[in-house]
Amino acid sequence: MASGFLNRFAGRAAAAPRTAEPASGIERVADRLRILDEAERAGIAWLWATDAAGKLIYLSDRALAALGKDIADLVDQPFDRLFQVDENADYTSRSLSFQLKGRTRIHDQTVRFAHGVPANASCQTWWSINGLPQFDEAGEFQGFRGNASDITVDYERQIADSRMADFDSLTGLANRHNLDRLLDRTLAAYRSAGRSCALLMLDLDKFKHVNDTLGHQAGDNLLQQVADRLLAVVGERGTVGRLGGDEFQIVVPDEDDRGTLGELAEKIINLLSQPFPIEDKRAVIGTSVGIAVAPFDGAEREDLVRSADLALYAAKHGGRGQFRFYSADLKNEEEERQELLDDLRDALQDDTLDLHYQPVVCVDTSRVVCLEALMRWEHPERGFVSPGVFIPVAEESDLINLLGEWALRRACGAALAWPRSVRVAVNVSPVQFANPGFVTVVANALAHSGLPPERLELELVESVFMGDSEAAERTFAALKGLGVRLALDDFGTGFSSLSYLRAAPFDKIKVDKSFVDSCTQSDRNSAKIIAAIIGLSNALNMETTVEGVEAFDQLEVVCERGAKLIQGFIYSRPLPEAEVNARIASGKFLIKPDGPETYRPDRRSVFRRIGVIHEDYYYNAVMRDISRIGAGVEGIVGLEPGTPLVLDLGEGQLIVCTVKRVNGAAFGVEFESSLVNDGAGGLCTRHRVSPYTIAAAGLPARPGTAGPTEGKRNESKPRFMEVAVGASAQAGSAQAD
Ligand code: C2E
Ligand code: MG
Ligand code: MG
């Protein structure tokens, strides 16, 4: 209706004759003005007009009255400053300025009255406007003529409806539909600009437990609190949404720094693992986070979401409460886990698993007081597999119970051959602990071996408290009834709630290695925490073992802080049973500390095929070890200290570095900027080079596999010589814990 009126009005205006009109014509003009006037006064039409410069020159009185403005307030103001399109709702519309400058028809465009009203003001006036550009006979642009109507009531209802369609009603966060659209839009816009966008996928741990035990109302309340905490951490950096259930998603535009993203994920994990007050109770949950970054891990929404999902899946299986970045290796993770589980079952069946024993030494006397049994598995193809890898896999099935029972029986049997003063410690998985038959398993292992119960120490971690607390208390009481000793392992890495110490009759606390790793750093907070844990443990009449001491500088710090019992490489690595027995047979079991003067932060042994770029030549090489600040590489002859190189670790991870040491084909490099935690106990580069750049540079898809024609090999002569490196030297370094 409104546009019909406009068309008539506009059509006439365009055809307005310039020459003197005949009498009937004058009458018709007068009629027209009168009708127009009446229509305006009746409020049937609100009319507006701009001049050629886009400034308002006319607005109907009714319209002015509705806005509560005087014509003097608005006239001569640029029209596109008075009115603006709703950018939050209408992604497809060009801005009003664009439409006015284009001098094309404006059709049923929703605009808000913006003069002195900020976009986020709660009270807005919404108009629908039409407009036609006017040209004189010479084709000169004269400005726009148009009409308008107030649609505020309808439009606000529409906004409210779309809020329902776009937002999760429980938490008020963006919903899946909204997030999908946001991602589509962002990725499409960023692709051409070469910008990056990170996607964090979250899944709450133990949420189902809260829902089941405290009820749905409590579950809903918890989700709202989770949403509030997420909004608080993420702030302006990104958009938080809820996909449904206990799944959340965070879109962080313009972020590809994996250091920053890892820190954000850690913050989120920490914040969500703090207890939530629910009615008069406390609920403890946690979260796992999977991270993928566009365009590296997917340039389209579907691909990016799939990558983040895979990373989340890996984070959950990595032991929960962790974050994980997507990497191409994750693709087959589920298959790998299944294979590993089958192989582990076979290994137990075929009796090819082993236990090694790591001494716990009394600092004052150098005497071994205890040996901790640690599982060892030499996989027929993979070689040494760390218990840090296979224990979590076993925990997902009943296999952990069988493994645990095997370890208990084996360790008790072994300890019988040792002096009475030496205890044996056995690790117990929380899954095993929660098994109703666990106490019987321990009792049987003791009875079967004949080991006095006080010589057996069970190492438990804090998460044994996570399940049914009454059942846990009964198990503690029954174990104490058997007469075995209990140790709280990895203390300081979980919630470290003091109430656990009150609730359970522990005889020993084991201070986690992570505190020792950083105890020599200048802020010394870790050293203070070690002192506090030892003090607490003394006050409660418990023993303390400090784990993971490797170097003399660390030994000095922990002894200074009151440590009496130490377990770490400085005294001994875990030893095979035969070696323990031989040492015992050869006399007193005393060990003196022996190790490096100072602790070198985690240099990890690896065997990884990489690429090394020097000038425009690409070499294949093998990386032997890596730390945050440098790496040991092998496979190129002729390098000199000071040579600048770029290491290609794959997936766009290029590291600028300088050669520091050379020894034949082996060399050590120092990185220009340090690596960051990859969430999986490994390291990764902060930034990656985009897949487009990599393809353009002609780098090989998998580093360390460049054929003779790849990597710009033909464009120059190599300065150095590439030598082949096999995997043979690997076993020794990987075995070394
Ligand atoms: P944990 O119980 O905290 O065992 C200590 C781990 O720290 C062992 O790793 C040990 O080799 C390592 N370690 C000790 N001193 C040092 C040191 O100075 N430097 C370094 N870098 N490491 C040191 P391992 O053998 O790889 O075991 C890892 C974890 O796997 C154990 O942590 C334990 O939680 C689990 N695990 C091992 N064996 C068993 C088992 O039989 N049953 C269960 N349920 N878990 C086990
Ligand atoms: Mg342990
Ligand atoms: Mg430990």
Residue 17's pLDDT is what? 45
- CB-based contact 456:423 (threshold 8 Å): yes
Output the six-digit token pair for 450.
């004949």
Indicate the pLDDT class of residue 1, thresholds 50, 70 and 90.
Answer: very low
Residue 622's pLDDT is what? 92
Comparing 6-15, 329-338, 551-560, 646-655, the range with the smallest average pLDDT is 6-15
Indicate the pLDDT class of residue 88, thresholds 50, 70 and 90.
Answer: low
For residue 516, give the ligand nearest its CA.
1
Question: How big is the CA angle at 283 (ends 281 and 285), to the nearest 5 degrees?
Answer: 175
Beta bridge partner(s), residue 669 = 631, 659
Element (H, E) at 281: strand 281-283
If you average pLDDT over each of 218-222, 407-411, 674-678, which comes out highest? 407-411
In short, whether 577's Cβ falls inside 6 Å of ligand 1 is: no
Pocket test of ligand 1: the residue of 488, 519, 547 to mutate, having most ligand atoms within 8 Å of its CB, is 547
Indicate the pLDDT class of residue 39, thresholds 50, 70 and 90.
Answer: confident
- CB-based contact 489:510 (threshold 8 Å): yes
Query: How close is the Cα of 426 to the center of ligand 2, in Å?
Result: 7
Residue 637's pLDDT is what? 93
Question: How big is the CA angle at 19 (ends 16 and 24), to the nearest 5 degrees?
Answer: 75
Q: 404: closest CA among 460, 336, 454, 468?
A: 460
Q: 9: closest CA among 56, 44, 51?
A: 44
Question: Residue with the nearest Cα to atom 4 of ligand 1?
Answer: 374
In short, whether 595's Cβ falls inside 6 Å of ligand 1 is: no
**pLDDT tens digits along 685-730:** 999 888 777 777 777 777 777 765 555 554 567 788 888 876 544 4
Q: Which residues, 6 or more positions from 600, have their beta carbon under 8 angstroms from its beta carbon?
A: 551, 627
**What CATH number does the domain located at 334-585 have?**
3.20.20.450
Helix (H, G, I), strand (E, B) or coil at 282: strand
In short, whether 405's Cβ falls inside 6 Å of ligand 1 is: no
Mean pLDDT confidence for 507-524: 86
The Cα–Cα gap between 466 and 208 comes to 13
What does pTM read for this prediction?
0.59
* Cis peptide bond upstream of 295, omega within 30: yes
Query: How close is the Cα of 624 to the center of ligand 3, in Å?
Result: 26
Domain boundaries, the chain: 45-158, 167-331, 334-585, 604-736
Model confidence at 65: pLDDT above 80: yes
Residue 254's pLDDT is what? 93
Indicate the pLDDT class of residue 59, thresholds 50, 70 and 90.
Answer: very high
Residue 680's pLDDT is what? 75
**pLDDT tens digits along 255-301:** 999 999 999 999 999 999 888 998 888 888 899 999 999 999 999 99
Mean pLDDT confidence for 203-207: 89
* Domain 45-158 bears CATH identifier 3.30.160.20: no
Query: How close is the Cα of 490 to the center of ligand 1, in Å?
Result: 10
CATH top-level class of 167-331: alpha beta
The Cα–Cα gap between 76 and 159 comes to 31
If you average pLDDT over each of 80-94, 274-288, 548-562, which comes out highest? 548-562
Question: How big is the CA angle at 643 (ends 639 and 648), to the nearest 5 degrees?
Answer: 90
Output the six-digit token pair for 390.
């296979």
Indicate the pLDDT class of residue 8, thresholds 50, 70 and 90.
Answer: very low
Query: How close is the Cα of 206 to the center of ligand 1, in Å?
Result: 25
Helix (H, G, I), strand (E, B) or coil at 68: coil
Using a CB cutoff of 5 Å, list residues around ligand 3, an ion: 489-490
Model confidence at 735: pLDDT above 50: no
Helix (H, G, I), strand (E, B) or coil at 123: coil
**pLDDT tens digits along 294-319:** 999 999 999 999 999 999 988 888 77
Q: Are strands 630-634 and 617-626 parallel, antiparallel or unpaired?
A: antiparallel
The Cα–Cα gap between 357 and 684 comes to 32
Mean pLDDT confidence for 146-161: 90
Model confidence at 529: pLDDT above 80: yes
In short, whether 375's Cβ falls inside 6 Å of ligand 1 is: yes
DSSP string, 294-359: ETTT-SSHHHHHHHHHHHHHHHHHTTSS-EEE--GGGGGHHHHHHHHHHHHHHHHHTT-EEEEEEE
Q: 587: closest CA among 358, 367, 412?
A: 367
Mean pLDDT confidence for 482-490: 95
Output the six-digit token pair for 345.
């079952």
Q: 660: closest CA among 696, 633, 623, 684?
A: 633
Element (H, E) at 411: helix 399-415
**CB atoms < 10 A from the CB of 331, how many?**
13
CATH top-level class of 604-736: mainly beta
The Cα–Cα gap between 464 and 479 comes to 14
